[in-house]
Structure 1
Amino acid sequence: MRLIRQYISSSVLKASAVVLLAVAALDLVTTVVDQADSMRGDYNFLAVLEYTLYLAPKKLVTAVPFAVLIGVLFGLGQLASTSELTVMRASGISVRRLGWYAMRGALAVIITGMLIAEYIASPLELIAEANRDLKRMPAERVALEASDNGFWGKEGSEFFRVGTVLPSGKLYGIVRFEFEDDRLQRISYSEEAIYIRDEWLLQQTHVTHIGETETTTEVVDEMKWRSEMSPRVMQIVAADEDNLSIRDLYYYANYLEDQSLDASAYKLAFWQKVLQPIASISLVFIAISFVFGPLRQVTMGFRIFTGIVAGIAFSTLQYILGPVSLVFGLPAILAVSIPIMICLVIGLYLLRRAK
């Protein structure tokens, strides 16, 4: 029994790993081609390759659900094609037990992907985005260009834009617009800023004072900037929700709620990441039910095609329900759970018919 368990689990694990690497490699090549159009300044081909390598863990994690779905269909499908599954069932091993053996192999990929996403992929992606922004444009333009790692903010009567936020918390290209009595009083541009003792220290700041009849300009080597936004908040705001870790999403959603601001987008991203392993398991469940149910006597090509269709349908449903939940104010956990529950119900129905 132990040999059979290891045999099935390793078959699924190997097939999933091959699919995972193939899909991730194709995605990385596509990224290199896409980034070639953005090369300028110090962002040359070597910088593009560096950026792409930083994104490799993210590409692997993104491909996990599809990889385990196809991996189970291929791994178990091979055993079904050679009648090995039939022999195992004839020897008294139940469908439930065989399915669990296959699930064990898929779980190894899913758990590894979850850990990579939380502790490796998210930090590396933030580094990649920040480095790309700094290399694509000169420092004096980084705050004014539409960089992927920058953002606009408002505190009190002041509007500001941060060009780039490094994972270390250092800021580049800070532009501030200060208003008093609904009139613009000062515009300042700082090359960089560091966080020291609960306040930002702006360096090499060019300040333009706007009077009623004239404007004056001065350069200040160091200037203090009191802001409620800590380095961690700056990093989170500058990044897309999809690039953040579960911990950062939870932290910032609570931060927004404490500020009486809408946190629905970050809650949706939080539940999508928390339930992603369960979503992958539900796809594995579908794959197992296909092999033991309606697809046990079809060709391998048809199994793979069916798996691709199932994966696309699942992803499309997730893609639709997410924005719908934001528009209609539905609980984020409900929007994320519906596709998972549908997969589990279909899989359970097909497995019961197979018995």
Structure 2
Amino acid sequence: MRLLNRYVISQLSICTLYALLVLISLYSFFDIMGEISHVGDGRYTASKMLYYVLLLIPTHAYELMPLAVLVGALVCLNQMASHSEFTVIRTSGIRLSSIISMMLQFGLLFAIIAVLLGEYVVPKIGPYAEQYQLHARQNSISAGDSGIWLKQGQDIVNVAEMLPDGSLKNISIYRHDEQFRLMETLHASSANVDTHTQQGKKSKWHLHQVEQTLLQEHQITVTHQENLDWRMSINHQLLNILLVAPEQMSIMALSTYIKHLKNNHQQTTRYELAWWRKIAYPLACIVMALVALAFTPQQNRHGNMGLKLFYGICLGLLFHFSGRLFGFTSQLYKIPTPIAAFLPTVLFLCLAIYLIRRQEKR
């Protein structure tokens, strides 16, 4: 029994890895097609573009894991059925419960891989990839742990954080003369960017709680202002690099950031949904393994086999995109985030159980 268990799980794992490789290759091709038009912007060369696409692979692997489990398991089980291996397993006295246990172990294996990717790999590589691309395409912008650094004429600007509503936190402005001697500094606790009020290409930044320091030859003057308007020619959309996608954050980071947003009276629905989806995501890999079993034909009929394989893959694509759909509807119609996160997985679990029981009765 142990030998059979290892054989089935190893075959399922190999097919799943092949499926994941194919899906990642497809997504990487789309990434290249989307990025190739930006080659030549700043220092964004073809080699840097390919390196950026490579950095996106862990994120794609995490996002596609349940779909890869379903496709890989479907292909493997249908191959075993076509070679009569599945029939031999059933007629040799192996109970359905034992087969389900094998599928659960297989799904759990890839659920653990998904957790490791989502908690340790993607939160580090994902933001780094976006910062790498931004730094290559925009010579006057650099992003790092201290926020984003902008250069405009004789001003160097540091923005530590951007909240989901577009407001900025902890802004520092350093102004120097032509000999690069520091002349003036501005520190603001927050700012709002008025993108509709423009003077040429400059947008107006409304700075709040401003401390202004003038460095003169023989004295330093410090003044405080409640509000101060300041013009900046940097495109406001470039500041979005400060907004880390919630899907690229770990559960611990999401918990901390949700608390931070609540303290700043910000909407947290998107981040709470991402938190609950992080909890539900490993379960999705296990459920997809059961769905694959439900779509495995019991008899060696090639027409039935190909049709079930097609239906199973379509169902996997439906699950892949339904998660995003439920995410949008939860924000639009105020659906509780735990329900929006778990509902697709629970529905597919119920479908898998129903189909397996129906198939067993036949």
Q: Is TM more than 0.5 here?
A: yes
Residues 47/138 of structure 1: CA separation in 2 closer, same or farther (3 Å cut): same
> Which residue does 1:54 correspond to in 2?
55
Letter in 2 for 1:23: L
Q: Report the identity percentage.
A: 26
Residues 1:203 and 1:222: Cα distance change in structure 2 (over 3 Å): farther
Equivalent position of 1:94 in the other structure? 95
Query: 2:112 is matched with which residue?
Result: 111
Pick which of 266-275 and 105-114 moved more.
105-114
Residue type at the aligned position of 2:150: G
Number of residue-to-residue matches in the alignment = 302
Q: Which residue of 2 aligns with 1:84?
A: 85
What is the letter of the counterpart of residue 37 of structure 1? S
Change (3 A) 1:354 1:330: same
What aligned pairs does 1:102-181 form with structure 2 within 5 A after superposition?
Answer: 102-139=103-140, 142=141, 165-166=143-144, 168-173=145-150
Offset at 1:50?
A: 1.4
CA deviation string 1:139-181 (max 9, x = no partner): 1xx4xxxxxxxxxxxxxxxxxxxxx532x33431189xxxxxx
Whether the 8 Å CA contact 2:295–2:309 is kept in 1: the answer is no
| Counterpart pick for 1:274 among 269, 279, 290 | 279
Q: Distance in 1 between matches of 2:277 and 2:147?
A: 29
**For residues 225 and 324 of structure 1, what CA distance do their matches in structure 2 show?**
40
* Structure 1 segment 320-331 matched on structure 2, within 5 A: 320-331=325-336
- Other-structure match for 1:225: 187
> Equivalent residue for 1:182?
none
Report the secondary structure of 1:275's partner residue.
helix
Task: Tell me what 1:352 maps to.
Answer: 357
The equivalent residue for 1:24 is 24
1:297 to partner: Cα distance: 4.0
Give the CA deviation at 1:235: 9.8
How far is the alpha carbon of 1:102 from its aligned partner? 2.7
Call closer, same or farther: CA 1:305–1:219 in 2, change over 3 Å: farther
* TM superposition shift of 1:244: 2.3
Tell me which amino acid in the other structure corresponds to 1:165.
A
1:287 maps to a residue whose letter is A
Contact 2:148–2:242, Cα closer than 8 Å, also in 1: no
Matches of 1:296 and 1:335 in 2, distance apart? 39
Which deviates more from structure 2 when the two are superposed, residues 95-104 or residues 36-45? 95-104
- CA change 1:344–1:273 in 2 (3 A) is same
- 8 A contact 1:201–1:222 mirrored in 2: no
